[in-house]
Amino acid sequence: MNRRRFLSMAGAAAATGLTAPTQALSRSRQAAKFPGGHSFVDFSVDGLGLTPGEYAAELAALAEKSAIEADYYSLGGIVTKLEERFASLLGKERAIYVPTGTLANHLAVRKLAGSDRRVIVQAESHLYNDCGDCASQLSGLSLIPLAAGRGTFTVDDIAPWISRTAGGRVESRIGVIMIESPVRRLGHQVFDFEAMKAVCAFARERGIRLHLDGARLFNVPFHTGRTVKEITVLFDTVYVSLWKHFNAASGAILAGSAKTIDGLFHERRMFGGSLPQAWPVLAVALKYMEGYPESYARAWDRATRFLNLLAAESAFAVERVPNGTSMFRLRLRRGGAEAFAARLKARGIVLPQPAGNPPFFRMIVNSSLNRADPDELAREFIQAV
Ligand SMILES: Cc1ncc(COP(=O)(O)O)c(C=O)c1O
C-alpha cells in the first residue's frame, strides 16, 4: 500500500468519524458499518484493499492457528507450501515465489530466452511500459512490441517479425513470445483465446518459448468459460500476482517445468529478490486463494444488479470493456467527479481517481463488493450524484 493511499484511507476514516487510531485499535473498517449501513467497498483495487490493521490482524490470526511456518531467505516453510499449491492450480511441475510481478516476468523471459535474445511482447504490456527497460538494461534482451492499442496479436502480426529476425545480416533469433492477459492498460481486456492458441502453436513449431503474464489470470475463467489450466497449458511459464486478488502485501508466483524453475532461486537472489523472511508478505494469500473463483463470481452477481440499477438512472453512463473482465467505466452525466467521489468516500465507498475529460472512473469489481447489498450501493451512488 502506498503512502498516498494510506493517507487517503486515513482521510476516509476521519470523514466517517472513525479516526485512524480508533480504527486500528478497536475494529476493522471491513466490519465497521458506514452511514449507509453497509461495510467498506473499494472499487479502486483488485482485491479487498486491506488496511494495515486488517492485514496485521489476518497475520496474527493465522499465526495463532500455527498456519505459518517461517521461511529462510524465501526458501522452505510457508513459501514452499504456497509454491506447491500454486504449481498444482496452474498445472505446472514447479512454482517459485518472487517478491514482485515485475521481477517474475523479467526472470521468466530471461530464463526462457537463453541465447535467443529477442522477445515479442504486446506494445501495451506491463513489461514493455512499466519496467523501465529492465529486460534490455539488466538482461541484454531486445523487446519487440507488437499490436499497439490492441489486447490481442495474431500469427499474422508475429510471422513477419520471425522471418525478418531470421533473415538479418547478423544472425539473431526470437527466443520468447510473452502474452499478457488480462491486459492492464486496456481495461483488463482478455487476449482472444483462439488467437492465443494459434500463436502458441505457431511458436512451438519453431521452438520459440512462451511466457504468460497472468497477473489477474484467476478472473478469466468467469468471463470466458476457459479454465485456468486450459490457458496455462499453452505456456512454458506463467506468472500470477499474489497481491492483486489474494491480498498478500506483495509478491508473485512464477510456475513452469522443473527444468525451468529449479535453481531459479539463485537468480532471484542475484536480483535482490530473496527476502530473508517472506512469510509476513505472503501468508494471507494462501487463505484468500481458496474459494477465490466463487468469491469473484458472487461479486459479479452483485455488480450486475448494481450496474443495472445505475444504468437506469439518467445521471450515469455505464460502459463495459469489450472482451473485458473485472473493469467497467462509470461516467457522470452531471455534477463534478471529485465531489462525487468525496461524498462516496465519506460513506465508506472508494472510487479510483477520475480520468479523461469528461471524466470517468475505471471501476474494478472485486470481492469487497460482497460486503454490500447492491441496492443499497446503488442508492448511495444516486444520492451522491
Ligand atoms: C499485468 C501486470 N503485470 C505485472 C505487474 C507487476 O506486478 P508488481 O507490481 O507485483 O511488480 C502488474 C502490476 O500492476 C500488472 O498489472
Provide CATH code, domain 67-289. Answer: 3.40.640.10
Q: Fold identical between 3-48+291-384 and 67-289?
A: no
Q: Is 59 in the pocket of ligand 1 (CB under 6 A)?
A: no
pLDDT, residue 35, reads: 64
CA of 92 relative to ligand 1 center, distance in Å: 21
Residue 235, sorted as left (phi over 0), alpha (psi -120 to 50) or beta, turns out to be beta
8 Cβ closer than 6 Å to some ligand 1 atom: no
> 129 CA distance to ligand 1 centroid (A)?
11
* Cβ(241) – ligand 1 distance below 6 Å: yes
Atom index in ligand 1 nearest the CA of residue 250 equals 10
The domain ranges of the chain are 3-48+291-384, 67-289
Written as tens digits, the pLDDT of the chain (385 aa) is 333 333 343 333 333 333 333 333 234 565 566 666 566 899 999 999 898 989 999 999 999 998 899 999 999 999 999 999 999 999 999 999 999 999 999 999 999 999 999 999 999 999 999 999 999 999 999 999 999 999 999 999 999 999 988 888 888 899 999 999 999 999 999 999 999 999 999 999 999 999 999 999 999 999 999 999 999 999 999 999 999 999 999 999 999 999 999 999 999 999 999 999 999 999 999 999 999 999 999 999 999 999 999 999 999 999 999 999 999 999 999 889 999 999 999 999 999 999 988 889 999 999 999 999 999 999 999 999 9
Structural fold of domain 3-48+291-384:
Aspartate Aminotransferase, domain 1 (3.90.1150)
Distance 51 CA to ligand 1 centre (A): 20
Mark 173-201 as b/e (b = at least 16 C-beta within 10 Å).
bbbbbbbbbbbbbbbbbbbbbebbeebbe
